[in-house]
Amino acid sequence: MQRRNSGKVARRRAGRGAASDVASSAGGLAAIASEVVACHRCPRLRRYCETIARTKRRAYRAEEYWGKPVPGFGDPLARLWILGLAPAAHGANRTGRMFTGDSSGDWLFAALHESGFARLASSASRHDGQHLTAAYISAVVRCAPPDNKPQPDEVAACSDFLTRELAALRNVAVLLCLGSIAFAAALRLLQAAGYAVPRPRPRFGHGAEYLLRPRATTTHPSSPPRALLVLASYHPSRQNTQTGRLTRPMWQAIFRRARAVVENAAPWTPSDRGFAG
C-alpha cells in the first residue's frame, strides 16, 4: 500500500515537473516573441518591411499587412525545430506568421501536415486555426530583407533571438535548416552554445545530417543538455521548386527522416538539466 502511494506521489511530482517545464518554455518563447515584434535593430530591414506594408502587392491591396518583425511559431515542447532564412515580403511580412501566406509556406505546411506535425495542410493567415504539435518554426532574421538577402550585420543582430530560442526549446531533437544560410547560422549558434562542431566544418547539402553533441566541458546556459541532429534541406523557395532543384519526393523524404528521428529520440526530462559532460 505504502509503495503504491509513493508511486502515485512520484507520478504527481513528475506531472507537476512536466507542466512547469511547458510553462517555462512557453513563457520564455512568449517573452522572445514580444521582443522580436518590437525590435528595431536593423534600420534597413525595418524601413523595407514598413514600405512593403504600405505599398502592398496588388493582389493583397485590401489586406492590412503585419509589417513588423515576425516571431517564431509553434509548440514549446517541439522536437523538430525548423529554421528558415527570413520572412517573405508579401508572405510572413503580410500575415505576421512565419512561412504563412506564400508558396514556400504551402510546401512547408503540406509536408508538416503529412508527417503529423501540423493540423492543417496549408496556412493562409495567423487566424486560420493552424496548430503545430512537436514542431516550431523560426528564421535566421525576422524581418523580410530586400531580394531575400540579409546582410551579415543583420544576421548577427538577430542571432540573439536564436540563442534564446535554443535555450527555451529544450525538447528539440532535430534542427532542420532550410538553405545554406540557415545551415551556417545553425552551426554558429550551436558552436557558441557549447556544441562540438567538427572541423572541417560540416558541409551543406540536401539531406546532409550531422549529430552534434555538447562539448564535454560545456556549461553554457543556452545549451540544451542533449545531442541534436542538424538536418539540411534545400529551401522550398520558388526558385528551387520551379526549377526542379527541390522536388516533392526530395522534400517529403526530409520530413519522413525528421519524424523518424524525433520518434526514436528519448524525450528530454528535467533530470537532464544537470548535464555537463
Which triple of cell numbers denotes residue 77? 515542447
Q: Is 83 in the site for ligand SF4 (CB under 6 A)?
A: no
Residue 182 in contact with ligand SF4, rule: CB under 6 A? no
For ligand SF4, the closer of residues 167 and 253 by Cβ is 167
Assess whether the previous peptide bond of 87 is cis (omega < 30° from 0).
Answer: no
Local structure of residue 144 (DSSP, 8 states): P
Report if residue 143 touches ligand SF4, rule: CB under 6 A.
yes
Contacting ligand SF4 within 56-75 (CB under 6 A)? 69
Cα–Cα distance for residue pair 211/271, rounded to 1 Å: 22
Q: Using the rule CB under 6 A, is 157 a contact of ligand SF4?
A: yes
- Note whether 20 and 123 are within 8 A (CB): no
Among 18, 46, 196, 252, binds ligand SF4 (CB under 6 A): 46
The nearer residue to ligand SF4, 36 or 132, going by C-beta atoms, is 36
# chain residues binding ligand SF4, by CB under 6 A: 14
DSSP characters for 5-18? Answer: HHHHHHHHHHHHHH
Angle subtended at Cα 168 by Cα 163 and Cα 170, rounded to the nearest 5 degrees: 110
Contacts of 65 (CB under 8 A, 6+ apart): 52, 53, 54, 56, 93, 94
Least distance in angstroms from the C-beta of 127 to ligand SF4: 22
Cell numbers standing for residue 275: 548535464
State which of residues 97, 113, 142, 259 lies at the interface with ligand SF4 (CB under 6 A): 142
Q: Tell me the per-residue interface mask from 5 to 44 with ligand SF4, x by CB under 6 A, - otherwise.
A: -------------------------------x--xxxx--
Establish if 52 lies at the interface with ligand SF4 (CB under 6 A): no
CB of 179 to ligand SF4, least distance (A): 16
Hey, what amino acid is at 148? N
Whether the Cβ atoms of residue 142 and residue 69 lie closer than 8 Å to each other: yes
Q: Which is nearer to ligand SF4, 38 or 216 (CB)?
A: 38
Q: How far apart are the first and last CA of the chain?
A: 39
Three-state SS at 212: strand
- Could you tell me the smallest distance in angstroms from the CB atom of residue 175 to ligand SF4? 19
In the complex, which residues of this chain contact ligand SF4 (CB under 6 A)? 36, 39-42, 45-46, 69, 141-143, 154, 157-158
